[in-house]
Structure 1
Amino acid sequence: MRMLQRRLVRPTLLVDVGCLSRMREVVEEPDHLVIGATTTQHELLHDARVRAHAPLLSLVARHVGDPAVRHRGTLGGSVAHADPAGDPPAAVLALDGEIIVEGPRGERVIPSAEFFVGPFRTALEPDELLVGVRVPKMGEGWTVHYEKFRLSAQKPTLLGVAVMVRRVGDCFTDAHIALANSGSTPVRATAVEVALVGADVTEEAVTKAADLLDGTMEPFARQGVSQAYLAHLARVLTRRAVVAALSW
C-alpha cells in the first residue's frame, strides 16, 4: 500500500490475502514463534505470546505510525516493503529471524540477514509470497529495548536502534544490535556486538562499545542533517538503548 501511495508501482491486479486465516496466526513452537505475515502491529503489541517470547517485536510495534496505522499495518507488509528506515525490519534482523515464503516451487526459509538486499528490495522472487516470520524465543538472561529518533511525529525514522543483550552476573555474554536507516538495508552493529561480549556491565563499557560505530554510515533518508550529526546520533542512541535494555 505504501508503494501504491507513493506511485512507485502500478499493478494491474491486486489480490487481498487478508482473509487467509493461516497468515494471521501466531504459532508457538518449542524454541520459536511463527508469526503470520498479516498479523497487525496492534496484535504484536498486545499478543501475550509475542510479549512473553519476542518482546522486542512488541516494543517496536509501539513505534510504528499511529493507532490507525497499527490496526491496519502488518508485520509481513513492513518486512516485505523493506524500507531501510522501517522499524520492524531492524527488529527482525536483531532477532536473527527467518522469513518464510511460498511459491510454485514450495516453501523457502530465508535468514533475515539475506532477505534485505537494497532499498525496498528483498530476496523474494516475483512469484513468491511472504507468509510468515519465525523468530527464536527469548531465553533466560536476555533483555531488550528499541530506541528511535525522528525530527517530528510526521517524519520517518531518522535512526532506530533495536537491542537484545544477555548478561550473566556482571558480564555481557551476548548482544544483538540492528540499526534502522543506517544504510540501504537494516544493518547489524557487529563491531559493537563483539565489543560488548565479555565486557563488564557498566555504562563506561557500553559507551566505549557504542563509540565503535562506523561514522561512514549512509542513511537512506538523510532529512537534511549532516553526516557528522547522524554518526553522533547513532552512537548516542545505541548507548542509550543498551543501557535502557539493562533496566528492562
Structure 2
Amino acid sequence: MPVEPPPSRWAFDAHLAGSDPDDDLVALGADLEPGTVLAAYRQGLFPMPLGSARDPMGWWSPVHRGVLTLDRLVVSRSLRRACRDFEVRVDTAFAEVLDACADPRRPHGWIDRRIRTAYLHLHELGWAHSVETWRDGRLVGGLYGLALGGLFAGESMFHRERDASKVALVGLVDLLDDEHGEQRLVDVQWQTDHLASLGVREIGREEYLGRLPGLLAVPLPRGFAGP
C-alpha cells in the first residue's frame, strides 16, 4: 500500500479560486513535498510550473476539466490491432517514462527538475505510477500519474512508435476496470482534440470537485495497491 507522508503545512481549496471565474490558475507558491502534492490533488488541484525555476509553482484547477470514464474509452479497430504489437508493463521504468515525457525537445514541455524530483519521491512512496509500452525489450511509449482511490490523475504521456501511448492508455483502463470500474475516473487535466478522439470529455470545475470525495473513497485497483 502507498505510504502516507507527513501532512502539509499548506492548505488548498479550489472552491476559493481567484476573482476571474475563467482562470484555471488557483494558487501560487507552497512546496512540492509529497504531503503537499497529495493534499492538492485531494482538493482538485495539481502543480505545474509557470515558466522558469525562479517563478513560484502554479497550482491549477481547470474550469473545464478533461476526464475519461472507463466505459467511454474509444478503441478503434486499428488501435485494437496495435495493442497486440506491444507489451504493457506497470511501474518497471517510472523514471524513464518521466524523463521521456520531460524531453525538452517536445513542444510545450513543462516538466522541470522540481516536478521530476517530486514525482520520483511520490513513486517511491507508492502514489505515482507508470504504464509503459514495450517492443522487443525497448521502452517505446507510456504515461504516468497518481492513483488516489478511484481517481487516476494522469500527468503526461509519450510515444516513440505509432500508437504506443494510446496502447498505454488502453492498458491503464484495463488495469482500472475491476469490480469498482464504474466508480473510477481518469483525469487528464485538459481535453485536447487527440484525447477527445479517445473518449475524453469536459466537465465543469464544480462538478469535478463535487465528485472528488466519492472517488477518493473507492479502493485502489489491485495493480496499484502494492503487496
Q: Which has the higher contact order (CA 8 A, sep 6+)?
A: 2
TM-score normalised by length of structure 1: 0.27
Higher-Rg structure is 1
